[in-house]
Structure 1
Amino acid sequence: MRVVIERSNLLKSLNHVHRVVERRNTIPILSNVLLAGTGASLEMKATDLDLEVTEATAANVEQGGATTVPAHLLYDIVRKLSDGAEVMLKTDDEGQSMSVISGRSNFRLQCLPQSDFPELTAGAFSHIFRIDSAALKGLIEKTQFAISTEETRYYLNGIYLHAIESGGKLKLRSVATDGHRLARAEMEAPAGCEGMPGIIIPRKTVSELQKLVDNPDVAVTIELSDTKIRFTIGSVVLTSKLIDGTFPDYQRVIPTGNDKKLIIDRQSFAAAVDRVSTISSERGRAVKMSITEGLVTLAVNNPDSGSATEEVHAEYSSDPIEIGFNAKYLMDVTAQLSGSEARFMLADAGSPTLIHDTTDEHALYVLMPMRV
């Protein structure tokens, strides 16, 4: 193989694919990126056996061929080369090593044969639809913070994506929960997702996808099979296994009878919660909200270090209520809101609270209270 390629093109594509590769691998081939030069492009592929990313980029292929080299090492080399430089990738006759040549720099990397590189077979796709990358980004960003990191409840370690009838229209909805908080976002369902099964997209896939949907002008093609999902974003193709589990019936934890309405300035509230939680214990991080007409008093009491209170003006005209929340969860939710105000719908100190974005009716958040 002998390929000449612009350093910026090579770096951009390597940046997309190398992140999938785990730093520590017991299987040597999984530390490598597959490079294949054909026609007028260089295709790169990386996998961790659950997730696979491929991207093709324009290149001058003087001699076709394919090999695999350490992904993170190649990325670091290309990153440190001069901006605007051309890079030559050339394998030796035996295919044992590949030279990376740019200007006066010459690196030689050990290769592993292409035949050892695993293929993530996707099977037949039952559903195919297209979605704007900005819309997909919204579904991900509004919910991904609530994904559980508890490995024992593996079915919560991702975003639940499904089509659902709501208000007489078919909606594409994303949901994430860790048992303490729940985030839900939805959009009008694109053509092609009618009858699609509910799927759980793993946390690592969600994280990679979030970095790839950065161009609002690019449409994303989504393909679904029984066990896999594939996203095609421009020249990047991301294929991932789905979590094999049943997502809980999240509708049951979304309260419908909360009648105490609190409207508060989002930034002032988040900043006040951040300030008073400075004194809270790392383990508890509980903040008590005492809500009376026109006023919310935030209080934190830590027997080891002291106490803190702060008052925030708000719109509230129902009966006074005292309720406790995890300060980090409160700040996480308010960070997702795009409007200047947050609307809380409360019931009592022991019941889940609803939080709405005043400028986005398609997003909804549920927070479980803490005993304080």
Structure 2
Amino acid sequence: MKITIERAALLRSLGHVQSVVERRNTIPILSNVMLRAENGELSLTATDMDLEIVESVPADIARPGSATAPAHTLYDIARKLPDGSQVELDSTGDMLTLRSGRSQFKLGTLPVDDYPAMSGGDMGHRFSLSAADLKALIDRTRFAISTEETRYYLNGIFLHASTARGAGGETPVLRAVATDGHRLARVEMPLPEGAAGIPGVIIPRKAVLEVRKLLDEAADRIEVQLSDTKVRFAFDAITLTSKLIDGTFPDYERVIPTGNDKVLEVDPRLFAGAVDRVATISTEKSRAVKLSLDRGVLTLSASSPEAGSATEELEVVYDAPALEIGFNSRYLLDITQQIEGEGARFTMADAGSPTLVRDVADASALYVLMPMRV
């Protein structure tokens, strides 16, 4: 293989694919990126056996062929080369030579035949949605993904087709749900064409984060393909394929409260600012903040034996009986940051029951937060 490519194009593609490669690998070939040159394009592939990214980029090919090279080393070299430079990649035997200007690097390679392939197989279900919609589904749910490895089935976003009940009856929706047992995020959008028969799937956290990084530079439409075991996202010249989490997502509908009767409405930005300030005093372990509600007034408070105490009052819309309820301040902030409108609506029952949080101006998202004793 012998090619010449612009440094900017190589760096951009290496930046996309190398983030999949783990820094510490027990299998040497998984530390490498596969480079394949043919038909006027250089194709770069990186995988960790659960997730694979393939990206193609135009290149001037003198001799077609393929090679594998250390992903992070190659990326670091490309990053440090001067802007606007041309890069020549030449692989012979078990060596890849990179030349640019007066710089030359020789990198050891591993056999192309040893590189694991993941992309094959028909997916069965196919639909497309806009980059903005996929971004919204991810951004408004990913904070609630569990990091507890023992409950592996919560380590991702549950994506499925469902129906939403509204004033005009039932409408089909695509729903994304994430929970860690302390909070739950459920976001929905109109069901894209072709998505009606999709299986309910759990997309792993790493795949979610990699897709989200790529979406900032993505074209408008994202094609999604699904099977019972894999998901594939394709856009521009990039294809990301991931294994799905093999597990059953819990029946999340059961934890969404329906009988909560105490309603608080507050400006989410003022509320988040007050929570953040008061939480400065709360203990690092519990991060507890107490909400004391009375007609028209919310008092936020926190205390710790070491740091002292803090209180702050806010004017709010609340005319139910007085209530005291405690929450983890980090969880409160995570949820209020998702609310883009002018009002956040908290619907509560008592100090020990789950609280429902919604954006007053947007019915597509719903959040559940478990209280804590304070």
| Bin for the TM-score computed over the shorter chain | over 0.9
Aligned to 2:226: 224
SS at match of 2:280: helix
CA distance in 2, matches of 1:122, 1:271: 49
Matched, 1:18 2:18: yes
CA distance in 2, matches of 1:247, 1:275: 36
CA distance in 1, matches of 2:318, 2:218: 38
Q: Please list the CA deviations of residues 269-297 of structure 1 after superposition, one character each: whole Å capped at 9, or x if unmatched.
A: 11111111111111111100001111110
* Residue pair 2:219, 2:235 contacting (<8 A) in 1 also: no
Listed as ranges, the matches of 1:227-306 within 5 Å are 227-306=229-308
CA distance in 2, matches of 1:73, 1:99: 13
SS at match of 2:337: helix
Specify every segment of 5 or more residues in structure 1 that has no aligned partner in the other structure, as ranges.
none
1:345 to 344, 347, 357: 347
CA distance in 2, matches of 1:121, 1:40: 21
* Residue pair 2:119, 2:241 contacting (<8 A) in 1 also: no
TM-score normalized by the length of structure 1: 0.98
Q: Which sits farther off after the overlay, 123-132 or 59-68? A: 123-132
Specify every segment of 5 or more residues in structure 2 that has no aligned partner in the other structure, as ranges.
none
Matched, 1:187 2:189: yes
Amino acid of the structure 2 residue aligned with 1:172: L
Aligned to 2:103: 105
Aligned-pair CA distance for 1:12:
0.8
Aligned to 1:38: 38
**How has the CA–CA distance of structure 1 residues 344 and 185 changed in structure 2, closer, same or farther, with 3 Å as cutoff?**
same
Amino acid of the structure 2 residue aligned with 1:141: D
Aligned-pair CA distance for 1:215:
4.1
CA distance in 2, matches of 1:244, 1:297: 45
CA distance in 1, matches of 2:355, 2:150: 26
* Residue pair 2:69, 2:108 contacting (<8 A) in 1 also: yes
* Residue pair 1:334, 1:342 contacting (<8 A) in 2 also: yes
* Residue pair 2:218, 2:235 contacting (<8 A) in 1 also: no
Aligned-pair CA distance for 1:11:
0.7
Aligned-pair CA distance for 1:125:
1.3
Listed as ranges, the matches of 1:1-372 within 5 Å are 1-92=1-92, 95-167=93-165, 168-215=170-217, 217-372=219-374
SS at match of 1:336: coil
Aligned-pair CA distance for 1:343:
1.1
- The percentage of aligned residue pairs carrying the same residue is 56
CA distance in 2, matches of 1:62, 1:29: 26
Q: Please list the CA deviations of residues 160-215 of structure 1 after superposition, one character each: whole Å capped at 9, or x if unmatched.
A: 00000223211000000000000010000111111211000000000001111114
SS at match of 1:26: coil
Q: Which sits farther off after the overlay, 218-227 or 21-30? A: 218-227
SS at match of 2:99: strand
* Residue pair 1:212, 1:233 contacting (<8 A) in 2 also: no
Aligned-pair CA distance for 1:127:
0.6
Aligned-pair CA distance for 1:121:
4.6
* Residue pair 1:165, 1:171 contacting (<8 A) in 2 also: yes
Amino acid of the structure 2 residue aligned with 1:164: S
* Residue pair 1:218, 1:234 contacting (<8 A) in 2 also: no
CA distance in 2, matches of 1:38, 1:361: 49
CA distance in 1, matches of 2:219, 2:149: 36
Aligned-pair CA distance for 1:359:
2.6
**How has the CA–CA distance of structure 1 residues 117 and 216 changed in structure 2, closer, same or farther, with 3 Å as cutoff?**
closer
CA distance in 1, matches of 2:125, 2:46: 25
Backbone CA RMSD of aligned residues:
1.0
TM-score normalized by the length of structure 2: 0.97
| Superposition misfits of 4+ residues, deviation over 2 angstroms | 121-124, 215-218
Amino acid of the structure 1 residue aligned with 2:129: I
SS at match of 2:196: coil
* Residue pair 1:291, 1:322 contacting (<8 A) in 2 also: yes
CA distance in 1, matches of 2:63, 2:42: 11
Aligned-pair CA distance for 1:339:
1.1
